[in-house]
Amino acid sequence: MQSSNITFHEGKVTQGDRNRLLGQKGLVVWLTGLSASGKSTIAVEAEKVLLGMGKVVYRLDGDNVRFGLNSDLGFSERDRFENIRRIAEVCALFQDAGIIVLASFISPLCTMRQLAREKARGSFLEVYVKADLLTCMKRDPKGLYEKARKGEIKNFTGISAPYEEPQNPELVLNTERDSLEDCVSQLVEKILEKSTSHTVDNRGNEKNTTPCL
């Protein structure tokens, strides 16, 4: 619970100052989709392409974050929400710092993605990395579907836990239909479009215009 004895301490450097220094605006790019849909594979390639274009970009990835910041959390619905809540806060800090964050998290519930969007205060792209369950089960790069099918993993998205498809994402990447290269170029194009087109208010924040539902 939040303490009642805390006061936000304003600084003298604004988000606009940081954006001018970096020559870019911060953006949270939230990749959601089933396990094995391709989120991490696409984010890794997109990070390299964007860095090559001189962009300051950083990847946050589901498993990686669970090695450190969220090593105390499991996969119950409560822990999954806490996982996303912390990540959404971290993404918002990166965004405020002027960095393009590529966040790859299954984030199965619409309310989780909505939370991340609200924290980013409009500088947010929801990207649905789409592949159907059968394709993901066939790919199974980490052998997780096999374990889930045998009951060795509880609360596995798509098998024993729900995945709510995004209703209104800014971008859908169909990884069954399009090659990895195509998916990466669609993503990079959207990021460049968004990072040059959005308008900001005098605190450097854009209004949230595209709700999840």
Ligand X SMILES: Nc1ncnc2c1ncn2[C@@H]1O[C@H](COP(=O)(O)OP(=O)(O)OP(=O)(O)O)[C@@H](O)[C@H]1O
User: In the structure encoding, which two tokens stand for residue 202, read together?
Assistant: 């005098």
DSSP per residue, 7-54: -----SS-HHHHHHHHTS--EEEEEE-STTSSHHHHHHHHHHHHHHTT
Query: Does the footprint of ligand X cover residue 38 (CB under 6 A)?
Result: yes
Of the candidates 15, 32, 41, 107, which one interacts with ligand X according to CB under 6 A? Answer: 41
Q: Is 127 in the site for ligand X (CB under 6 A)?
A: no
Segment 95 to 124, residues that bind ligand X, using CB under 6 A: 104, 106
Degrees, nearest 5: CA angle 101-40-86: 50
| 141 forms part of the interface with ligand X (CB under 6 A) | yes
Which sign does the torsion angle of CA 166, 170, 175, 178 carry?
A: positive
Q: Of the listed pieces 39-47, 79-87, 141-149, 167-175, which binds Mg ion according to CB under 5 A?
A: 39-47
Of 24 and 37, nearer to Mg ion (C-beta) is 37
How many chain residues interact with Mg ion (CB under 5 A)?
2
How many helices (H) and strands (E) are present in the chain, helices listed first?
Answer: 8, 5
> Which residues fall within 8 angstroms of residue 177, CB to CB, at 6 or more apart?
none
Residue 40 binds Mg ion (CB under 5 A): yes
**What is the per-residue binding string for ligand X in 54-73, x denoting contact by CB under 6 A?**
--------x-----------
What is the contact surface with ligand X in residues (CB under 6 A)? 33, 35-42, 62, 104, 106, 129, 139, 141-142, 175, 178-180, 183
